[in-house]
A and B are shown apart, each in its own frame.
Chain A
């Protein structure tokens, strides 16, 4: 037998902020923070052979989830050696991510929940490069084993917890991973669902020969599924061997220990860059296309969002146009200005704060790290989708407003404005992205992205302007200077 997972002296230390209860302590902690080191995993070593189903048990906070996260490449350990099928997990090579799956009972499905189950499965197929034949074969098997037929056409957000878990399994198993990390797969399920889950896991391991490492607090899960168990407590391995011999070895140790503390919030983990070699240009473009497509598909199911998007973008300039046209009826430049304002707003609006920092905040970013693709493609796809949406619905509106306001159109001007608008859109994306990335340090970036918007408003025009129309170039009767700011505010 060949060992597929090798863990040697694995250590993981977090720093978590601590403070006393109450207002005074909270105020003090604003200025002086005290940290405590949490040794989640201390010198853990074990090896798994191909096709083994091993139970990884221990009380809450013992380090099980942390170990699984390290093994699946989400966290970078403080020390020790890990090899999974010859890969170092935290390097997150696409070839590695394509053959493993981490399924968490507390968070079975990550990513867009507006899509239907079948849509999500299709996107998994594209991201994991599963051939049509394999996809159909796996799908048929999973539909039968997990009784998915009635769920396929439903939206993920409308699923119950048990249904979500079944779909989470299907989403991960559709690409036939060779190693499965199951983190409390029976968490919160009722008796029948638990039975079904156990039967499924054991049937799956028999049929595919996949290596499975599963954690559970229910001894029945482990008894039924695993010959071998690894018992971990306070970050160290207490027992590793056959289940039957456990009670003999650790007679003084109570397995059903009452857990007092919740799992600690993890912090201070080290992680390496996600953008490593292994992606060709064609693959990146394809993934970007997939991400854009998924975003559009999601919106189409979300009418209220589309409506507010249009209103937010169009109503401001339109009201401005109406007010200023009435106030200064003789100044024809005003209409041109507002049409341009509408155009720039439609082109440069950026939604990183909604996509990226949210993912960090609610933990779905972990799931993004598991996908065999550069993480940045997610927010990028969202932005491209927004642009396409504006092209389809914003542009006709723009032309309509232009016609109503009797703006003078100049083909050369439009031709010149297009690259400038494109550059402005890219710059706006990068600018907000930098601020959205602050979520890594603050865990919430909404306030900071809001600050960036204010900065753009106050300084953008002064500091980051790029005038692309020379003073002599006329867009109305009189020559005027037309500057495109980083933000959508121009000056005449």
Chain B
């Protein structure tokens, strides 16, 4: 194992993941709010 760990690259990798998580977190919140407004109870 001749591993040379580049910590900056690792952090950037994690950073991208966190960014995607934030983006989808916002999307979920938006969809949830809009969805609840739209929600209709099914089956009377």
**A interface list, Cβ under 8 A from B:** 14, 65, 69, 74-76, 106-107, 262-275, 360-363, 365-366, 376, 408, 410, 412, 416, 419-420, 423-424, 426-427, 430-431, 433-434, 437-441, 443, 464, 466-470, 472-474, 479, 486
Contact = CB atoms under 8 A, between A and B. Distances in A.
A424 B21 CA distance: 9
Given A467-B13, A473-B6, 7 more contacts: A272-B36, A273-B33, A274-B36, A363-B43, A434-B27, A468-B14, A470-B4
A104 to B, nearest CB: 9
B14 to A, nearest CB: 6
Contacts of B28: 430, 433-434, 437
Contact of A269 (B20, B33, B39): B39
Contact of B32 (A14, A376, A472): A376
Given A265-B44, A266-B42, A274-B36, A473 B3 contact: yes
Nearest to A376: B32
Interface residues of B, number: 33
A362 B42 CA distance: 7
B17 to A, nearest CB: 4
A424 B17 contact: yes
25 contacts: A76-B37, A263-B44, A268-B40, A271-B36, A272-B36, A273-B32, A360-B39, A362-B42, A363-B41, A420-B17, A427-B17, A427-B24, A430-B28, A431-B24, A437-B31, A437-B35, A440-B36, A441-B35, A464-B20, A466-B16, A468-B17, A470-B5, A470-B9, A472-B3, A474-B2
Contacts of A266: 40-42, 44
Contact of A271 (B13, B39, B42): B39
A59 to B, nearest CB: 13
B9 to A, nearest CB: 4
A362 B6 CA distance: 51
A268 B17 CA distance: 37
Nearest to B15: A466
B10 A470 contact: yes
Contacts of A412: 3, 5
Nearest to B22: A430
A274 B39 CA distance: 12
Contacts of B10: 416, 468-470
Contacts of B5: 412, 470, 473
A474 B3 contact: yes
A410 B36 CA distance: 47
Sort A-B residue pairs by CB-CB distance and give the 6 closest, nearest first. Answer: A440-B35, A263-B44, A468-B13, A430-B24, A423-B17, A470-B9
Nearest to B13: A468
Given A273-B36, A423-B17, A468-B13, A474 B1 contact: yes
Contacts of A424: 17
Contacts of A431: 24
Given A412-B3, A426-B21, A427-B20, A69 B41 contact: yes
B21 A423 contact: yes
A375 to B, nearest CB: 8
Contacts of A437: 28, 31-32, 35
Nearest to B9: A470
Contact of A361 (B20, B27, B42): B42
B31 A434 contact: yes
Nearest to A486: B20
A269 B41 contact: yes
Contacts of A75: 41
Contacts of A365: 39, 41
Contacts of B38: 271, 440-441
Contacts of A470: 4-6, 9-10
A306 to B, nearest CB: 28
Contacts of B31: 434, 437-438, 440
Contacts of B35: 437, 439-441
